[in-house]
Structure 1
Amino acid sequence: MSARERGWSTVAEPVERPTDEPLNRWGKWKDSKYLKRAGGSRDWQLAAGSAVLGLVVAAGAVLAAGPWDSGQRKAEQDRAAAQERAGGAHHQRSTPAGPGPAPSAPAVLAPLGASAGVTDPVGASSLKSVLAPVLGTPALGTVRTAVVVDTATGRELYAQGADTPMTPASTVKIATGVAVLSALGPGHRIATTVRASADSRTVTLVGGGDPTLDKAALRGLAADTARALRDSGTGDVELTYDTSRYSGPALHPIGPNENITPVSALMVGGGRLDGSDRGPAPRTDDPAGDAARAFAGLLDDAGVTTGSEPSPGRAGKGSRTVATHLSEPLSALVERALANSDNDIAEALVRQTALKAGEPASFAGGRRAVTDRLKKLGLPLAGANLADGSGLDRADKVTAGLLTGLLALAADPDHPELRPVLTGLPVAGFTGTLDDRYPADSRGTGVVRAKTGTLTGVNALAGTALDAQGRLLAFAFLASGTTSPSEAESTLDALATTLVTGTR
């Protein structure tokens, strides 16, 4: 795996105690409408259309220029917009009616040589015989857990330590994506605004929490601001900038690090100093101040002179909005956070979730908001600690059962608003943090989609794979105590490929 995602730490991962006790996590979901106990009075019902989704996702992302540029989800986006239940400002207009139904699974799968009409999923015993030996290899360290679920039926096909809390690294971004999409909807956009005082002598750049704000957007804000000020006959102005939308410490517990910028409601280009748009990079220690200074220069270019250095401040009583920039919709932000393992976007998404919940937009407020949102969705949260949105914090703990539950919920036809969680997953051998993994001759290439996770001594992979019968399987493999990242990654990739081939 490339270095783009690693949040390396000098602290070794504590070794958790392994367990051989059989675990049944589905009992914890018995009150959820999404899950029912396998083999009992309830069976988890997720429509078989999930398999169709898997084929579309796997093929579409490879052909598209990038996961968030693809038109493969337009029908689902329209449907999500039509039935969107979440409120909040800056949502896209809902369409009056959703599109017609997608083709049935047999019609889609038959041309690929799949066995149409097959309803019994691959047996758990078959998967155990091929997965268990790979999971037992030394490359996966001292503790490893795994869960595989057939998303069409909800049947748990394989489980080892399903309820054991593990450090997830960046796979926790799956939880971040589900929470923010559920809370605000895929069409929500984050606003950055400029407000002018009643006498038009003071201009305030107000950060809304958009980490993807760029210089082009700032230039547009400056042009609109200059136009509004010219209409009022204003020349020189004082420039202030407002970051009050966020609270709490700006510095991530990991400390100054090339994997994340100090968290601020106002930043340009993710606070990167080298012009890159992904991976580790030199970071500013003053993202808001840098953004304000860049904006001041653009105002000057537009004919509005700022008399002094921008300073922190808030728009006063009687001020008015003179310019607004809206981010890309949350669907695109979630996809980018997952595909590139973007920590700055992930932390911004958690804070948007917190604001929607009425919590402070901080690490602590985000933890409470995301946990509460997932609880409302009926997900198994025993042992979970969602300390941040990016996975850089080693205090994060999730189970393999929670990760597969999140993925299965995103595949549920009743939750089209969560689909970006699937479409944003890197495609094996093609996109995002999996673009340099999986050789061209691997059966997993282009078929496995998964979120990677890497910290020192921690390696994880969670996502979806299409089996030989065209079924969409959700999986999560978590390992700690690893000593060779490359060997651990190769083993995790082999596990996911095994789901595709059914053989070691």
Structure 2
Amino acid sequence: MGFGQRIGNTLRVPSRGGRRAVVILLVFMLAGATGSAVALSGPSLVSGLGLGGGGQAAAALPAPVPVLGPLPADAPLPTPEGLSATLGPLAGAALLGDFAGLVIDPASGATLWQRSPGEALIPGSVSKVVTAAAALLTLDSTKRLYTRVVAGPTPDSVVLVGGGDPTLTALPAGRDSVYPQPSRLDDLAAAVGKALPGQRVRTVYVDTSRYTGPVLAKGWLPADVPGGYVAPIVPLMLDGGRADPTLQDGPRVAQPALAAGQALAEKLGADPGAVSETVAAPDAKVLGSVASAPVGDLVEHLMRTSDNVLAEALAREVAIARGGDPSFTGAAEQVVAALAQAGFDPSGVRLVDGSGLSTADRVSPKLIGALLSAAAAPAQGARDTQFLRPILTGLPVAGGDGTLDDRFDTARSTDGRGVVRAKTGTLTGVSSLAGVVTDTDGRLLVFALMSNGESPASVRPQLDAIAAALSRCGCR
């Protein structure tokens, strides 16, 4: 058995972020079960908890009742006939344009319903499932991305070396950016000051040599940068190139590496106007370094928020780890190669970027469904490692968070709120939705739905309705 086939059959455990989310949810559910037995009026609650005056004995609280548990292993399986009867009318709507989709039982791998599943369509951001899977199959989920400062070409200069971490922020500790556990420029500046005591830094250079090729992909528009969709892809930037580090979709800067260098120059007392590019000497002394959150956490974040820059960075890291060229072309090639090595069939896939922002990308629901099914498949034993789990733990919750926080709000889709977890994909004339849902019998199902050629304003509610129909259907 080759290495790739072995990877395809064993999957990695959830990242710390995923486990933490489940634990927190369980705590709140338990708290809700406990609180429901206590009077809701303020004085009664204080008295009942023994927090009031008078030295009264605290009332005994009821034992917590767990309400969040595993899905039943013997939940009945929907039938193809039942699913066709339920989904057929919804999937046959003319407003869906060129439509393809499928429903899979991840426990058995069986396809239960399908409509042109092998058709390669423009995926939009659902393509991030492909990039995320390649990253988790190629990189250790505990791996971090490092930004370094090294000695410059003169004694009074330093070089800020990009290591592919777009989460680096100039915000001080205690102030949140859009990224989880961001690396901080203040820590780099402090490290430089400690490494060069009493020495003034007059010049800051930036090194972006980790990546090659164009900074914008085929199919991207220059207006996408000020529009907030993406930044020029370089291995050094602050907050994903955002002008405002607290806005997920705020405008991006035109030269993110120089902006990062200028921010460091200000912190070191150097001239921000003198920042320029160079390539650090291979043996240059390291003066300081900072690290991103682990790859598993980064994958969860990019799935939840559909962060284009973070997806592009992880695609480049896949290329570097596999010995490919860290460009758009090289990253796309290595992402597809990583999936093929792991046993997935990439037939019909054509990628020009890692984020799905390009209209030149083509992916089939069959591949998206296979990746999500592998991520959702139950462990085969105590030593089975779940490589792809962070994809699931990062999926937005319908009507709850991420890119689904304002979806599933029509009469036909509200049943899916809190039950459907899915990745969205939206471009002009492109609408996709792919994820997992639990039906009324407690059976976990994977679905992948893609539409091209019609307005997302009319298509997205229809995709929501299809996913919601799965949530309320035993379909037998």
So what's the TM-score if we normalise by structure 1? 0.75
Q: Which amino acid aligns with 2:401?
A: T
Quick one: distance in 2 between partners of 1:388 and 1:34? 24
CA offsets, 1:42-81, max 9 Å, x none? xxx999xx9xxxxx9999499499xxxxxxxxxxxxxxxx
Match of 2:181 in 1: none
1:423 aligns with 2:393: yes
The whole-number CA distance in structure 2 between the counterparts of 1:419 and 1:213 is 25
Alignment CA distance shift 1:57-1:332 (3 Å)? closer
Are residues 59 and 376 of structure 1, via their aligned partners in 2, closer, same or farther at CA, if it must alter by over 3 Å?
Answer: same
2:264 alignment partner in structure 1:
295
Please state how far the C-alpha of 1:423 moved relative to its aligned partner.
Answer: 0.7
Match of 2:462 in 1: 491
- Contact 1:152/1:471 (<8 A) preserved: no
Residue equivalent to 1:283:
252
Aligned to 2:238: 268
Q: What SS is found at the alignment partner of 2:274?
A: coil
Decide whether the 8 Å contact of 2:78 with 2:474 is kept in 1: no
Find the partner of 1:229 among 182, 196, 200: 196
In the TM superposition, residue 416 of structure 1 has moved relative to its aligned partner by 1.9
Matched, 1:475 2:442: no
User: Match for 1:228: what amino acid?
Assistant: A
Cα displacement (A) at 1:331? 1.2
Alignment of 1:83-162 (within 5 A): 116=72, 118=74, 120-141=76-97, 143-162=98-117
For residue 322 of structure 2, what is the aligned residue in structure 1? 357
Q: Give the distance between the partners of 2:314 and 2:294, measured in 1 at CA.
A: 11
Q: Structure 2: which 5+ runs fail to align?
A: 28-65, 173-183
1:182 and 2:137 are equivalent in the alignment? yes
- Counterpart of 2:243, as a letter, is L
Q: Offset at 1:374?
A: 0.4
Match of 1:167 in 2: 122
Measure the CA separation in 2 of the matches of 1:490 and 1:207: 41
Q: Counterpart of 1:153 in structure 2: which amino acid? A: S
How has the CA–CA distance of structure 1 residues 347 and 466 changed in structure 2, closer, same or farther, with 3 Å as cutoff?
same
1:139-186 per-residue CA deviation (whole Å, 9 max, x = no partner) reads: 212x11111101111111111101111111000000110101111121
Aligned to 2:343: 378
Amino acid at match of 1:140: L
Deviation at 1:392, TM superposition (A): 0.9
Q: Partners in 2 of 1:438 and 1:251 — Cα distance?
A: 33
Counterpart code for 1:186: S
Secondary structure at 2:415's aligned position in 1? coil
Tell me, yes or no, if the aligned pair for 1:114 and 1:469 is still in contact at 8 Å. no
Output one character per residue of 1:354-376: Cα deviation in whole Å (capped at 9) or x when no partner: 11011111100101110100001
User: Equivalents in 2 of 1:168, 1:310: separation in Å?
Assistant: 39
Q: Tell me which residue corresponds to 1:89.
A: none
Corresponding position of 1:7: none
Pick aligned residue for 1:343 from 308, 312, 315 = 308
Equivalent in the alignment of 1:53: none
Contact 2:10 2:385 in 1 (8 A): no
Q: Is the 8 A contact 2:158 2:204 kept in 1?
A: yes
Which amino acid in the other structure matches residue 246 of structure 2? S
Between the two proteins, the alignment pairs up a number of residues equal to: 407
Cross-structure match for 1:205: 160
1:385-400 equivalence runs, <5 A: 385-400=350-365
Measured in 2, the distance between the counterparts of 1:500 and 1:124 equals 16
In the TM superposition, residue 481 of structure 1 has moved relative to its aligned partner by 1.3
How far apart in 2 are the matches of 1:446 and 1:62?
Answer: 16
Q: Which moved more, 1:247-256 or 1:371-380?
A: 247-256
In the alignment, is the contact (CA less than 8 A) between 1:465 and 1:474 conserved in 2? yes
SS at match of 1:417: coil
> Using the alignment, how far apart are the partners of 1:307 and 1:158 within structure 2?
59
Cα distance change on mapping 1:208 and 1:447 into 2, 3 Å: same
Match of 1:443 among 369, 392, 415: 415
- CA separation of 1:226 and 1:376: change in aligned 2, threshold 3 A: same
Aligned with 2:437: secondary structure?
A: strand
In 1, Cα distance between the equivalents of 2:71 and 2:436?
A: 20
Shift of 1:196: 1.1
RMSD of aligned residue pairs (Cα, Å) = 3.0
CA distance change for structure 1 residues 367 and 198 in 2, over 3 Å: closer, same or farther? closer
